[in-house]
Structure formats: C-alpha cells, structure tokens
Amino acid sequence: MNEGTMNEAAFFDAVVPAPFARRPDSRQRAGLVAIVGMWTAETAAPSAALARAWLAYGLATAFHESAATLEPIAEHGSRAYFRRYEGRRDLGNIAAGDGYLYRGRGYVQITGRANYRAVGRRLGIDLESEPDRALKPAVAGRILVRGLEGGWFTGRRLGDYLAEGRCDWVGARRVVNGTDQAALIASHARAFLHALHAAGFAPPSRPNPGGNPR
C-alpha cells in the first residue's frame, strides 16, 4: 500500500461500534476522508507511528467538536447568547458585534477576533475580514492539523503527550481545551487508531529538524 493511502471500506467498517454506533453516512465518510487527506498532506510528524497517532487524535477531536458530523460547524446559539463574548479583550473583541461575528467555527472552533487574526496570518489568509472561511473544509482541515501539532490553541502540542515512548491520550486534551471530556475523546482516539490500523493506513513522516511541529 502506498504511503498515505488506506482501505476506506475497511476503515468505515472498523469505526463501528466505536466511536460510531453505526456505519458512517455519506457526509460523515466524506468528512473522514477529507481529514485523513489533509493530515497526510500537512503533518510534520517525525515518524509514521506518530503521524498515525496524531491523526487518530485529530479525528477524535473533530468527531467530538463537530457533534459527530465530521463537518466544520459554527458554534450554536442566538446573537443574544454571544453577547457574553462582547468586550472580551482577551479574545480581541473590541467592536460591537464581535462576540457573534467571531464565534467558534471549524473542526476545532477558533473564537475571538484576535484568534481569527492570528490563525489567518499563520495560514496566509485573511480570516479576520472573512471569518466564515474557517468553515471551508480545506481551511478548517489545515487549522486542525497545524493547530494541534503546532500548539496554536493552548500553547501545548500533540507531541507533548503523544511521543516516542509516551502515549497520554487523556492528557492530550490539554492541546485544545483543558480536561473537558478528556477521557471520552481519548476513547475516540483509541478507536480511530484501531480503525487506521485495520485499514492499513501508512502515513507519511516528515522529520522536522527544528524539533517542533509548525
């Protein structure tokens, strides 16, 4: 099997009964394939084993954050709900309406004007002016991969928890959101790793001389 490929049918079979209760529908399958493809293209993992483990955790994160749709989504709530984010200078929300305009979007939901600006600069696109671009699968996928590997969300990277000789699936939640639902997401990650093995996924590895993912 070529590097970065997998038996998709075997993969979709293997994600049942966990983390899916039934075989993924067509939209979920498309989302899974899109994330695997983006990870294959973007990963900076130093070994194939770590690329597979990091992908498994990325899939688990997207599964949880997207409410199992595997599609980029916007944070739910009325405009009134997002008033709680108004005036949050820690998020860069300085103008009226910023709370709603810069609500969470994507596979890993970035929130706040400052975060949209920072992530956009890293990707070379203007997310601050066009925050809905974070809902495009290609953009959301790059944010997921590079953000988890590079520590964009909390300053902690997947490599801090999933490394050679260390496999802390529960602790890896700190890369995104403290310990919120950490054990549940860890169980999803283990299930996805099993499915990737069952599908014969052979990820690429790109040694990073700097020692840290982007």
For residue 208, the tally of other CB atoms under 10 A from its CB is 15
The token pair that represents 2 in the structure block = 């070529």
pLDDT for 7 = 94
pLDDT band at 2 (very low <50, low <70, confident <90, very high): very low
Measured N-to-C along each axis, helices 26-42 and 137-150 cross at an angle, to the nearest 10 degrees, of 50
Rounded CA gap, 44 and 88, in Å?
33
Q: SS3 letters for the chain?
A: CCCCCCCHHHHHHHCCCCCCCCCCCHHHHHHHHHHHHHHHHHCCCCCHHHHHHHHHHHHHHHHHHCCCCCCCEECCCCCCHHHHHCCCHHHCCCCCCHHHHCCCEECCCECCHHHHHHHHHHHCCCCCCCHHHHHCHHHHHHHHHHHHHHCCCCCCCHHHCEECCEECCCHHHHHCCCCCCHHHHHHHHHHHHHHHHHCCCCCCCCCCCCCCCC
Q: What is the pTM assigned to this prediction? A: 0.91
Q: Does the structure show a pLDDT above 70 at 109?
A: yes
Average pLDDT score over residue span 45-68? 95
Rounded CA gap, 140 and 38, in Å?
10
pLDDT for 5 = 78
Rounded CA gap, 179 and 170, in Å?
8
Q: What is the dihedral of CA 124, 48, 46, 54, to 10 degrees?
A: 60
**Is residue 72 reached through a cis peptide bond, with omega within 30 degrees of 0 on the bond before it?**
no
> Do residues 182 and 188 touch, judged by C-beta distance below 8 A?
no
Rounded CA gap, 43 and 35, in Å?
11
For residue 48, the tally of other CB atoms under 10 A from its CB is 15
Residue ranges covered by each domain of the chain: 8-71+136-198, 74-131
Q: Which residue has the tokens 């964009």?
A: 152
pLDDT for 126 = 97
Mean pLDDT of the chain: 92
Dump pLDDT digits (tens) for 123-161.
999 999 999 999 999 999 999 999 999 999 999 999 999
